Structure 1
Amino acid sequence: MTARPWDSCETWPRDKIREHQRVAMRDQLERVYARSAYYRRVWDALGFSPGDVGDLDDLAALPITTKRDYQTALTHDPPWGSALALAPEQVRRVHFSSGTTAAPTPVCWSAYDLDRWADLYARGAHSQGVHDGDVYQCLFSYAWFVGGLGVTSAYTRLGATVIPGGSADTQRQIDTLFHYGTTAVGGTPSFLLHLAETAAEAGRPLHESRVRTVMTGGEPGGQLAGTRARLEHEWGARVYDGYGSLEFQPIAWECAEQAGAHLAEDFLYAEVLDPDTHRPVPDGTAGVLVLTHLDKRACPLVRWWTGDIVVRDSRPCPCSRTHARLVGGVRGRTDDMLVVRGVNLFPSAVEDIVRRTPGATGEFRIVVDPDVTDPETGYLTGIKLRVEALPETHRRLRGELAAAIRAELTVRALVEPLHPGELPRTTHKARRVVRTP
């Protein structure tokens, strides 16, 4: 059953949404110019004044902001950086990137930002049918990561009983889930499937628990048909996708209709751009999501390049909400994309096939090595796919998966079946592409 909107803005007509965004954008650009040294320096160099933006389409005159730009701003005024748009003593929380490819990147929130964040996430959970009386077990990490505390605040605001479990102690999570009657959980698809696998091996399948609502996030997969079907089968619950990032929290979430993640269009302005030309693409066409905060105070971002490939649908949802949706969730990331004989291939497309293949556990790795690389050009001629499967299915699965990938994705796949448990498990974000010399 579709829940009534948490906020009246969720059912505004499209013209009212756009007018709200126009007015909020004008105020936000004035605020950013006055308080963010980084943006003031960039815009002054362009001869730009916030008053130059009379309509939302005028925003295209401003440059894209990338992660590298943000990291550069950190070096100008350490430790918080010149992108900070308020006094450091007004910062109430800081979360960091993982630091796997560079020094951990801090992103700040004010008291206003934290309140807004909690309310937006509560809106998403409410649209999925979570309410007071539910017992919510958070399976997102709390150590440095942005996810855990955000959803904890949201479900608390909803009136749920919150168990901040985190993404470790697998057996204790399972024990807690059954003993305290958890009815809603949230976590990465990888960790949720790991829990289900562990519980089933112990003779305590999670579909026998009281959990009825699962919200995924942190990595693609929640809206992939194969991954969703596997999660719903293992947990015996409805699975919804939530979408956010460290720098831009939150972005979108699915409602009970599971018809695409609703953008928080009263909080952000979204553009979907061609990855090469940076020109807008029409609804229904894949492009890179570029976002602008409409009212964030601490670290506001203007034309933030998410790097995420999405497809937008601005038509009203069957649930009656009018905020545009990202159909199919995040299709992939521009930096994860593989080009195989001219075909753009995202790990999420491979995941969807693996997850719905009988006999496969769902765990896989795409390996890029000399076996699938042209020695002269360095271009990929195919992919190598290592996938866990039940031993008795190895022979069948090798040919079946290769054929499905060829038919659906038009690329060659060398499939290497492995025994269950051979690939490392993760309690956080799964690494799906491995490059070897």
Structure 2
Amino acid sequence: MTLSIPYYCKSVDWDQFMADFPPPPHFSATTGRLAADAMHALQEKRFLDRVADAWQVPFYQRLWGAAGLEPGDVTRLEHIDRIPTFNSDDLKGALASAPPFGDHYKFTRADFGKFPLKIQTSGGTTGMPRPTLFDPIAWEVQAVQAARAFYEQGARPGDVVQITYTNSLANSAWNAFTGLFNWLGCVPVTTGTGIVTPSERKLEYAREWGVDWWFARGEYLGRLAQVAEEMKFDLHQLKTRFLHSYLGPDVEGHFRQKLEEAWGCPVYDNYGSHEIGLIAFEGRERNGKHISEDTVYVQILDTDTGVPVPYGTRGNVVATSLHRSVPPLIRYDLRDLMIMTDREESESGLITRKLSTFLGRADEMVKLRGTNVYPLACQNAVTKDDRTTGDYICVAYHVGEGLGRREEMTVRIERKSAQVDAAALEADMRRELFKDLGVKVDIEIVEAGSLVEHTRLGRDKVRRLLDLRKS
């Protein structure tokens, strides 16, 4: 008997793949600047293909059937609002319906080995992480999305690039690596987080190996700058061309400015998710993030009503993957708060809709005396004050009993050193956060490095909420 192996190299018609999802430099001359009618036609075709995929999946049959939807009800892109949204909680339900991988796929565990698959995970801050399967199309399109961003921000073949995320069950580092290695001709240096490779050693590698640019979270770039200062290591000697990063709700740009001053180069902000990939990225003009519109259809919905809001209005990001059939992801509510603007031509020549600065997480809201407060909204006040390390965490808890029970929040903020007057910093933070949040919060000033247990700075995706309300 001859064993049939699903060789990755033969799993996709790669020439057709590159025509469908142009990598750099072709993207900027093709789907990156399609006219509105042509982009609509492309999105509609791919959207309807994904809807057809979804009708073969038990998860969508159940979700859409409960909403009264039947096959044939969605025949145009404009019909997308007939489809109910879902979120990560619904995916947990899909996993529970058919463990361990869920019933949101067209196949089951018995079909493994018929085509290449990879398991990555999302979540898992408590309990088991949520697995997601990737086939070659899902995997490589996410890599192309990343490569497009890198190229527009200045990456070129031959660049040596340090990746400070760990290549693990989370897929951010893998997306960067695959984009650089497969689609851009760059040389990845996969040092991982500070647990895998100490920050001091990362800086030494950058100097010795001539790292041209970095793929890193904004908070960790700030931590590297602190380490460099402690080592008396001049970051400017590295001649870093740019930093590809995720800056969070840096609404006034204070965080970006500090990083650019420390590193002596531009910092580019980006936005993505585990399942959808790199949804949007800044171009050279750094004026809003270009949506990769041939791979994802983005809507902004009102956080209360779920109705689409006009351009320029804040709301929840709801994304539909136009390339994924493993699994289909149609109207996935990411529960991220952002603003979208209409299509326009940028200085770099791209013509896309754009997303704003990240504005917070809808599912991390704390209700304080009738005001919705998002922990990430504290970043602006904390990072612009030179007396802090930039690290903070919001602690949400209940006070009172019965009808008098209410939510409260304390913001713990690290001071840079023991020489910083804690009382003065507390008073100033109380005032600045009141201006940004619109409601008073308690402030606790703590010592540098004391919050890392909760925030996981330098180890993993940074947390800004310690939620004791469920305790």
When the two structures are superposed, what TM-score results if normalisation uses the length of structure 2? 0.85
Q: Alpha-carbon deviations, 1:373-425, whole Å to 9, x = none?
A: 56663334664443323434324322222222223332223333333333324
Instruction: Name the SS of the counterpart of 1:314 in structure 2.
Output: strand
Instruction: Name the SS of the counterpart of 1:269 in structure 2.
Output: strand
- C-alpha displacement of 1:367: 2.6
Matches within 5 A, 1:158-307: 158-168=184-194, 169=197, 170-217=199-246, 220-221=248-249, 225-307=253-335
Q: Specify the code of the residue in structure 2 equivalent to 1:389.
A: K
For 2:112, the equivalent position in structure 1 comes to 88
Contact 1:226 1:356 in 2 (8 A): yes
For 2:365, the equivalent position in structure 1 comes to 337
Instruction: Find the aligned partners of 1:68 and 1:406 in 2 and give their Cα distance.
Output: 32
Q: Specify the code of the residue in structure 2 equivalent to 1:401.
A: M
Q: Alpha-carbon deviations, 1:74-127, whole Å to 9, x = none?
A: 233333221113543324211012422232211111112222221111011111
Contact 2:46 2:322 in 1 (8 A): yes
Contact 2:121 2:132 in 1 (8 A): yes
Contact 1:26 1:50 in 2 (8 A): no
Instruction: Find the aligned partners of 1:24 and 1:361 in 2 and give their Cα distance.
Output: 46
When the two structures are superposed, what TM-score results if normalisation uses the length of structure 1? 0.91
Contact 1:281 1:287 in 2 (8 A): yes
- Judged with a 3 Å threshold, the aligned counterparts in structure 2 of structure 1 residues 43 and 420 are, in CA distance, closer, same or farther, namely closer
For 2:34, the equivalent position in structure 1 comes to 12
For 2:152, the equivalent position in structure 1 comes to 127
Runs (5+) with no aligned partner, structure 1? none
Runs (5+) with no aligned partner, structure 2? 1-24
Contact 1:5 1:321 in 2 (8 A): no
- Judged with a 3 Å threshold, the aligned counterparts in structure 2 of structure 1 residues 137 and 221 are, in CA distance, closer, same or farther, namely farther
For 1:149, the equivalent position in structure 2 comes to 174
Contact 1:74 1:81 in 2 (8 A): yes
1:66 aligns with 2:87: yes
Percent same amino acid among aligned pairs?
A: 26
Match among 111, 117, 136 for residue 136 of structure 2? 111
Instruction: Find the aligned partners of 1:232 and 1:58 in 2 and give their Cα distance.
Output: 44
Match among 101, 109, 127 for residue 126 of structure 2? 101
Q: Specify the code of the residue in structure 1 equivalent to 2:459.
A: T
Q: Specify the code of the residue in structure 1 equivalent to 2:144.
A: D
For 2:463, the equivalent position in structure 1 comes to 431
Instruction: Find the aligned partners of 1:224 and 1:306 in 2 and give their Cα distance.
Output: 24
- Judged with a 3 Å threshold, the aligned counterparts in structure 2 of structure 1 residues 12 and 245 are, in CA distance, closer, same or farther, namely same
- C-alpha displacement of 1:66: 1.8
Instruction: Find the aligned partners of 2:252 and 2:326 in 1 and give their Cα distance.
Output: 34
Instruction: Name the SS of the counterpart of 1:133 in structure 2.
Output: coil
Match among 53, 68, 84 for residue 31 of structure 1? 53
- Judged with a 3 Å threshold, the aligned counterparts in structure 2 of structure 1 residues 4 and 356 are, in CA distance, closer, same or farther, namely farther
Instruction: Name the SS of the counterpart of 1:323 in structure 2.
Output: strand
- C-alpha displacement of 1:348: 2.2
Instruction: Find the aligned partners of 2:156 and 2:123 in 1 and give their Cα distance.
Output: 32
Instruction: Find the aligned partners of 1:125 and 1:176 in 2 and give their Cα distance.
Output: 21
Instruction: Find the aligned partners of 1:101 and 1:166 in 2 and give their Cα distance.
Output: 22
Q: Specify the code of the residue in structure 1 equivalent to 2:406.
A: Y
- C-alpha displacement of 1:179: 0.9
For 2:17, the equivalent position in structure 1 comes to none
Which deviates more, 67-76 or 149-158?
67-76
Q: How many residues align?
A: 430
Contact 1:178 1:210 in 2 (8 A): no
